[in-house]
Chain A
Amino acid sequence: MALVSLAELEKTYNKGTSAAVHALQGVSLSIESGEMTAVVGTSGSGKSTLLHILSCLDQNFEGQYTFDGTDIKKLSAKQLSALRNEKIGIVLQNFGLIYDMTVFDNVVLPIYLSGKHYSKRELHQRVIQLLQELGLEEKINTKASQLSGGQKQRIAIARALINNPSLILADEPTGALDKSTSNDIMDIFCSLNSAGRTIIIVTHDLSIAARCSRTITISDGKII
């Protein structure tokens, strides 16, 4: 069974008005576990809208979206937030870190939000393990504001991984980084994929897409 399955997905902004915009039209796709997929398209093509739906931030669409066998439209707000927390890790172009928090607090944020109780030692071990994989263990007590762009993005990846999600969604993860740092970040995504993680990267950079095993091109809200 596919991890992500979209069938005839439609999304219209300002529906029913003269300013209606059809952001997605009849999008159907299926992504298996362990795939590393790039969604490419020009600005305004609908790729961000697709990402918002895939990441369960937007439930207001037509068609069907099944995640790991669950029909997303049937979930309540609480169930949807639990799904985002446990099964989806989101990495954003602008990192989405809370800058006056330490690296440790940023990484464990999804655990804080889940309400699950772990001992301090357990949490610390988990964060250290992730930061070691990303080469940032010495920054554990540093404030997020004091990190470089590449380091911030690696912390954002660590946060996305903390709950061991089934899917990692990255929205232009290298958009705010230089070429060399972008390559480092893509190396991390590739090694995560090699370890069996499912990754979807939304990008307009074809060199980034080239490093993914599959590329989906979207134009005017349609997959081409």
Chain B
Amino acid sequence: MITLIFTHLKRRAINYIAVCVELIVVVLVCNILLSHLVPFIQGQQLYKSLKLSSILCCTTSAESDALDIIAREVDAKILWRNYRGQYALSDESLFIQPVEKSYLHRFDLVPDEQISAGPIAVVASSLTSRYKSGNTYTVALQYPIGEITFSVALSTDNDLLFIPPSGDAALSVIGRHPNTVLLALDDDDLAKFDASDVYTLEAKDNDAQRVTEILSWNEKIIAAMSCEDAQSYSNSLDMSQMGMPIVISLTAVALCLAGMLSNTLLSIIANERNNAIYYICGYTWKKCALVQFISDLLIVFFSVVMAYAVMQILSKTSGNITFQQTSFLLSVAIVAVIFTLAEILGVIQIAKKNVAEIAERMK
């Protein structure tokens, strides 16, 4: 049986590559889907925790005077939002976005003389009361990073665009997201971070949530609205943003799934003929099914390993691609479901055998 399985595997080398490519595509698509869905779900959870009767106050202002007025006059919760759509309920929370230091130089984001050795930070001018330009600070970040010391290179009120090393399509606009600190790191320090993530100060980590889109356009203040209205408004914004990526992603997933299924069905048809030959030469149908099952299982296993290895290599060699573990697991689960369906189909085909079919398969 081992010889047969080995022969079977040698014959179907192309299947490894096909499943591997399809798996990588599904992982990438899941990455995109999750990046939209996770903040959305977190937002829904936050609304739930805030209760619908709460009044929310949304603002783009970072000025403490304006915020004091809001807190005093409106008696509402103030929510802080970073460029990834995460929110904090306290102005003491910081969103720390790691970025490769060379980007600052490459895109002329920070003057060269400000780019010193060690981690450097770019902060919104609203944070200058806490983080002064030229000074060095040590902050404790959430697990597993621990403490990190950085010097503040620049504070800015302007939109500061950068491309994160993860290749994330989003562009950070530090000026509009006053609690976000752009932390520029050398490669060694950057390795400690998952570049696609945003980190918050340890003590305030629980507050980082998404709630709504910015409601006022040019004014600093202000929209106070019920939580219910905010949720409805936020949902409509989310849907308008998520619609196209989700349609494209689902189409890509559907195409990949169709590819995987057709690949598997073709292999079932090829197996039918081989099984008929094995049967005629003295194998039982049960053993035919066993050879098929073990071979297919090994093909899926090797394909998953190959896909994982390729993704690791891509992540390491190209700073623009980051694969989330969840996406990978989700994709493997999809492959597992397809594999199970295919095997059930295969077994049904084998179980339906009769002499006329055997003869037909030999042609």
B363 at the interface (CB under 8 A from A): yes
Task: Tell me the minimal C-beta distance from B175 to chain A in angstroms.
Answer: 63
B283 at the interface (CB under 8 A from A): yes
B277 touches A96 (CB 8 A): yes
Q: Among the listed stretches A29-37, A63-71, A78-86, A181-189, which one makes contact with chain B, having 4 or more residues with CB under 8 Å of it?
A: A78-86
Task: Tell me the minimal C-beta distance from A125 to chain B in angstroms.
Answer: 18
B284 at the interface (CB under 8 A from A): yes
A84 touches B359 (CB 8 A): no
**A147–B363 CA distance with the chains assembled, in angstroms:** 17
B348-363 residues with Cβ-Cβ distance < 8 A to A are 355, 358-359, 362-363
Q: Looking at the complex, which one of A82, A97, A101 makes contact with B282 (CB distance below 8 Å)?
A: A82
B83 at the interface (CB under 8 A from A): no
**Residues of B with C-beta under 8 A to A55:** 280
A8 at the interface (CB under 8 A from B): no
Contact flag A115-B1 (CB < 8 Å), given A52-B355, A101-B7: yes
A2 at the interface (CB under 8 A from B): no
Contact flag A86-B359 (CB < 8 Å), given A98-B277, A109-B277, A112-B3: no
**Residues of B with C-beta under 8 A to A92:** 280, 362
Most chain B C-beta atoms within 10 Å of own C-beta, residue among A52, A58, A81: A81
Size band of the interface chain B makes with A: 20 to 34
A77 touches B7 (CB 8 A): no
**Residues of A with C-beta under 8 A to B279:** 57, 81
**Residues of B with C-beta under 8 A to A100:** 11
A219 at the interface (CB under 8 A from B): no
A159 touches B363 (CB 8 A): no
A49 to B, closest residue via Cβ: B355
Q: Looking at the complex, which one of A81, A90, A96 makes contact with B283 (CB distance below 8 Å)?
A: A81
B333 at the interface (CB under 8 A from A): no
Size band of the interface chain A makes with B: 20 to 34
**A100–B270 CA distance with the chains assembled, in angstroms:** 11
B10 to A, closest residue via Cβ: A100
**Residues of B with C-beta under 8 A to A105:** 7
A113 touches B7 (CB 8 A): no
Q: Looking at the complex, which one of B3, B282, B286, B359 makes contact with A52 (CB distance below 8 Å)?
A: B359
A48 at the interface (CB under 8 A from B): yes
Contact flag A110-B362 (CB < 8 Å), given A57-B355, A105-B7: no
**Residues of B with C-beta under 8 A to A78:** 284
Q: Looking at the complex, which one of A83, A86, A90, A114 makes contact with B280 (CB distance below 8 Å)?
A: A90
B280 touches A96 (CB 8 A): yes
**A81–B278 CA distance with the chains assembled, in angstroms:** 10
A94 at the interface (CB under 8 A from B): yes
**Residues of B with C-beta under 8 A to A90:** 280-281
**Residues of A with C-beta under 8 A to B280:** 55, 57, 84, 90, 92, 96
B355 touches A113 (CB 8 A): no
B345 at the interface (CB under 8 A from A): no
**Residues of B with C-beta under 8 A to A85:** 281-283
**Residues of A with C-beta under 8 A to B286:** 77
**Residues of B with C-beta under 8 A to A101:** 7, 11
A positions within 8 Å CB-CB of B: 48-49, 52, 55, 57-58, 77-78, 81-86, 90, 92, 94, 96-98, 100-101, 105, 109-110, 112-115, 159
Q: What are 16 A-to-B residue pairs whose CB atoms are below 8 Å?
A: A52-B355, A57-B358, A81-B283, A82-B282, A84-B280, A84-B282, A85-B283, A86-B282, A90-B280, A90-B281, A94-B363, A96-B280, A101-B7, A109-B281, A112-B4, A113-B287
B positions within 8 Å CB-CB of A: 1, 3-4, 7, 11, 274, 276-287, 355, 358-359, 362-363
